[in-house]
């Protein structure tokens, strides 16, 4: 057990302890939301990047874009923690067979466990790997780029790999020194990753002003996701711009934190300091920030990573997977406005 714990600690080596600030809890309850979930987008850092890729590929029929920071190809870990460590994080001990990984997606699509891969053709994809990132290799991120090239029109893919950032979410002025990877894994890099990403994923965005008038609301992940939320924290968070709170139709973006970056560890840093809310506020984008939790028992997840190697189930990378299903249920649960027209296809996952 001690050996397994050490292995899991190193695979998630991302991120420190702070009490969640009051800014992440409006206390007034989530307002009714009218979301266009048929054009949703996702993003994530590291384990959250792997999860964002999985969620995108599972639901590419209604998730139309993905922004991935510091993560490798879909199904890289192949449902095995040893493979994850040896090939998908800070080293590649043996060559990665990209065709074999992609063939898993083909099989999943043929059985209906993920959306048809043809849905990825017109997707918008934004990838990032910092030149000072030693937590996830450039080779792993390069392979994700190649994998998306096989599925998506190349003109729709942007790969940023020339910024001198360490392993974190780069921002204009928030976080730690750009060359350092430390909690809360947000980097002061004079680079607006959130803006670069969102402007690629979504058309015709308005440049944000200096104030954020929207609010972050707390939701009960357990209530919304049911038994599928067993490996998630009790609380998740939703950023809601004022116009969206007043009932206007709004876009939806889902952003997945990295290991040791969940709220119990870093407070509201990931929820409020990446720059995503700044752009969302002036562009009618509601942002869902789902949260994991750490577990020192089976399923073992001591650093609160998203499941990209199979700790929750063998189906972790498809629609049947508990975490993908749980987040899907959260989206359905928060989309409660009077004009709600949620028709997203949830496939074979248990989303009742």
User: Which one is catalytic: 43, 46, 102, 325?
Assistant: 46
User: Which one is catalytic: 59, 113, 133, 307?
Assistant: 133
Question: Both tokens of residue 278?
Answer: 């700044």
Let me know: does 106 contact 318? Beta carbons within 8 Å. no
Pairing of strands 285-289, 249-256: parallel
Let me know: does 186 contact 174? Beta carbons within 8 Å. yes
Q: Assess whether 43 carries a catalytic annotation.
A: no
CB proximity list for 119: less than 8 A, separation 6 or greater: 60, 61
Distances (CA, A) of 83 to 3, 11, 75: 16, 10, 10
User: Which one is catalytic: 56, 59, 129, 167?
Assistant: 167
How far is residue 328's CA from residue 324's CA, in Å, rounded to a whole number? 6
Q: 172: buried, middle or exposed (CB in 10 Å: 19+, 13-18, 0-12)?
A: middle
Q: Assess whether 46 carries a catalytic annotation.
A: yes
What residues are labeled active site?
46, 133, 167
């Amino acid at each position: 057990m001690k050996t397994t714990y050490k292995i899991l600690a190193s695979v998630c080596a991302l991120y420190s302890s702070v009490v969640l600030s009051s800014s992440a809890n409006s206390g007034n309850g989530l307002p009714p939301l009218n979301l266009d979930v048929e054009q949703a987008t996702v993003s994530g850092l590291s384990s959250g990047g792997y999860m964002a890729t999985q969620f995108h590929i599972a639901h590419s029929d209604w998730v139309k874009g993905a922004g991935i920071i510091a993560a490798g190809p879909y199904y890289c870990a192949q449902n095995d923690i040893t493979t994850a460590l040896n090939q998908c994080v800070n080293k590649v001990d043996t060559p990665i067979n990209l065709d074999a990984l992609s063939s898993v997606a083909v099989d999943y699509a043929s059985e209906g466990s993920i959306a048809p891969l043809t849905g990825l053709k017109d997707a918008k994809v934004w990838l990032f790997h910092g030149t000072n990132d030693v937590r996830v290799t450039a080779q792993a991120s390069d392979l994700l780029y190649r994998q998306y090239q096989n599925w998506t029109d190349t003109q729709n893919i942007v790969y940023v790999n020339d910024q001198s950032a360490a392993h974190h979410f780069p921002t204009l002025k928030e976080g730690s020194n750009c060359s350092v990877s430390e909690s809360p894994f947000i980097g002061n890099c004079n680079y607006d990753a959130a803006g670069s990403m969102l402007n690629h994923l979504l058309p015709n965005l308005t440049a944000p002003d200096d104030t954020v008038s929207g609010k972050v609301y707390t939701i009960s992940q357990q209530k919304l996701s049911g038994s599928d939320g067993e490996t998630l924290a009790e609380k998740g968070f939703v950023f809601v711009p004022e116009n969206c709170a007043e009932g206007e139709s709004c876009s939806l973006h889902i952003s997945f934190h990295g290991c040791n970056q969940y709220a119990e560890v870093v407070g509201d840093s990931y929820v409020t300091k990446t720059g995503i809310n700044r752009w969302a506020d002036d562009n009618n984008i509601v942002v869902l920030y789902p949260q994991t939790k750490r577990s020192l028992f089976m399923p073992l997840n001591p650093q609160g990573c998203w499941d990209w190697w199979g700790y929750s189930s063998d189906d972790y990378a498809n629609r049947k997977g508990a975490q993908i299903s749980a987040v899907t249920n959260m989206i359905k649960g928060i989309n409660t406005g009077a004009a709600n027209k949620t028709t997203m296809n949830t496939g074979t996952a248990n989303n009742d």
